[in-house]
Homo-oligomer: A and B are copies of this chain.
Amino acid sequence: MTEKTFAFVVYPGLTPMDLVGPLQVINTFAETAPDVRVAVVGETLDVVGTDTPLRLAPSHTFADLPAPSWLLVPGGGAPTLQAMADPTLMAYLRKAAATAEFVCSVCTGSLLLGEAGLLDGRKATTHWMFRDLLRAFGAEPVAQRWVEDGPVITGAGVAAGIDLALYLVGKLGGPAAQRLVQFGLEYDPQPPLGPLDWSQAPAAELRPFTERTVRDGLAGVPQLRDKLLAHL
């Protein structure tokens, strides 16, 4: 039995639900899969801020875990765009992806995979408000809850990370494991207004927000900023 490690990447300013949804799913699976280890990796073990008042701290550094079996990168707003220009994070993603079985992202985490060169020629998804930006990395945007293309599995916005992670549990442990995790987390969604009605998506209303997020996050990297804005 070979031990495998699922690493969840932490960086400053991320959206904690992008990280914690999948982390809780995989961690629950790991409780009954003794060959699966879960780790939260960051550049250092220091506490980092998020896009909420909650602060987070990883369990391992990038140096501790250079070659995890599986990797998941969460997204966020402007700080995630900013992280595209973080050479330490980019180097870690490239290096870890070279040996990982699967590399996954949630929400705008796919922009980080894109900048790391991992989406070129692949189908991929991200948060619906940022989907067109994937073209800047040679990816083909797909409007699905999650998209699997070879070893790269990208998820849609924020809450999609839970569905993506359950898909991974099925892939790794089969439907019985998937069902047990779903009961364990009581994942039986009942959104008060029901599922989203995409014909009502406030796309025009939120487009300025998307543009501002790119401009704010990449203010110090005008070349990358303009490359993305060209696809908005």
User: Is B189 touching A163 in the complex (CB atoms < 8 A)?
Assistant: yes
Closest to A145 in B: B190
Once bound together, how far apart are the Cα atoms of A163 and B53, in whole Å? Answer: 21
Residue interface mask A200-219, B partner, CB < 8 A = 1: 11100010000000000000
Assess the B183–A158 pair: CB atoms within 8 A: no
Chain B residues with CB under 8 Å of A51's CB are 27
Q: What interface size band does chain A fall in?
A: 35 or more
Q: A1 an interface residue at 8 Å Cβ cutoff?
A: no
- Chain B residues with CB under 8 A of A8: 54
Contact code string A30-58 (vs B, CB < 8 Å = 1, else 0): 00000000111000000100011111111
Report the separation of the CA atoms of residues A47 and B191 in the bound assembly, to the nearest whole angstrom: 32
Given that A192-B170, A202-B183 are known contacts, is A54 also in contact with B159, CB under 8 Å in the complex? no
Which of A8, A47, A54, A56 lies at the interface centre, i.e. has the most chain B CB atoms within 10 A of its CB? Answer: A54
Can you tell how many copies of this chain the complex includes? 2
Asked if A27 contacts B52 (CB within 8 A), the reply is: yes
Chain B residue contacts of A57, Cβ below 8 A:
47, 54-57
Given known contacts A39-B53, A180-B202, A183-B202, A189 and B162 CB-to-CB distance under 8 angstroms: yes
- 6 contacting pairs across A/B (C-beta < 8 A): A17-B20, A127-B186, A163-B190, A179-B200, A183-B206, A187-B189
Knowing that A27-B51, A38-B53 touch, tell me 9 more A-B residue pairs with CB under 8 angstroms.
A19-B54, A23-B52, A24-B158, A53-B58, A54-B59, A159-B185, A166-B191, A178-B192, A187-B191
Measured CB to CB, the residues of A under 8 A from B are: 8, 15-17, 19-21, 23-24, 27, 38-40, 47, 51-60, 107, 127-128, 145, 156-160, 162-163, 166-167, 170, 175, 178-180, 182-193, 195-196, 200-202, 206
